[in-house]
Amino acid sequence: MPDPSELPAARGTRAPIPPFRAVKPVASIGYLILVHRFPEQFERMFRAIHDPANRYVVHVDANADPSVGAAIAAFLADYPNAAMLDSRPALWGGYSLVDAELRGMARLLEMGADWEFFINLSGQDFPLKSQAEIRAFLSRNRGKEFIVARDQALHRPETMTRVTRLVIETRKRIFRTPLPRFFLGGAKPYIGNQWMIVSRKFCAFVTGDPSVDRFKRFYRGSFIADEGFFQTVIRNTPGHGEVTGDDLRMIDWVPDGAIKLRPRTYGIADAPALLASDNLFARKFDAAFDGEILDVLEAHLAEIDASPKQAA
């Protein structure tokens, strides 16, 4: 999890968007959504991000209740531009989450050559902007990779045991051993969080280039690999877009016992901040805890879609 000293309490603002200039619009986006519970809430989020031009892949954790996958598969049957990824266990802290991301990227690449950006989400995320606004933003920002990637030893030294002590993952558990190991020769570890908006080019590279194989082998034995693998690859290999250090998510990180930080669940009191945010997405939400905030965000997006003046 990110260090609280590196993030504001709620990431909702950034530098002003540059003035409009005519650019070729992004025609399509590839989405990967990771789900392990709340299928009804997933459906609300999916409708909010759906566009017939996009491609969508959904992975349901194999450890989830079987009813979750069945409900989502039935729902997606009406969407020809969406596909289910083969379900495998996806444990917090394990490389299995990286595996789901890589398989999702590969499946999206197979689904079509028209999408330009990859966006990963969880089933408890929600968009703060319409698809037209998101495509307009990405159209103005080609050549950029929206991912947080900080020098791990410099900015998060307390997390270095994630990569310097061997970790073993089984279907149900993560075992953190005391066995030491050296980091990859000629490379430096980087860290961020799981969420990103990256180019199609990077997705093709990280899923298929042989030079990435050694990073895959190493991170299979690391802890919370999904917060370091993609960051380390993008910072230690050439040919990628500008790494912005921003994942375009509004997240309020709060302490949570043994877990250093967790994302606070947003409620209706957060509506003004969420609606005013420059971020594209926010997490996390729980309709059972506060469904009214989702009503507000859905109404906001519907109002944007109904407006004759769409994002340029």
pLDDT given for residue 5 in this prediction: 43
Q: For residue 121, give every residue at least 6 positions away whose Cβ sits within 8 Å of its Cβ, in sequence order, or none.
A: 31, 32, 33, 34, 45, 49, 195, 281, 283
Which residues of the chain fall short of a pLDDT of 70? 1-22, 258-259, 308-312
pLDDT given for residue 312 in this prediction: 46
Three-state helix/strand/coil letters over 35-94: ECCCHHHHHHHHHHHCCCCCEEEEEECCCCCHHHHHHHHHHHCCCCCEEECCCCCCCCCC
pTM metric for this prediction: 0.90
Nearest to 11 by CA among 117, 134, 128: 128
Per-residue pLDDT of 73-101, as tens digits, reads 999 999 999 999 999 999 999 999 999 99
Domain boundary assignment for the chain: 28-306
pLDDT given for residue 15 in this prediction: 55
Give the helix ranges, DSSP H, for the chain.
Answer: 39-49, 66-76, 96-111, 131-139, 152-155, 161-164, 200-208, 213-219, 229-236, 271-276, 292-306
Residue whose pair of structure tokens reads 């980087």 in the numeric block:
190
Q: What architecture is domain 28-306?
A: Alpha-Beta Complex (3.90)
pLDDT given for residue 307 in this prediction: 76
pLDDT given for residue 261 in this prediction: 82
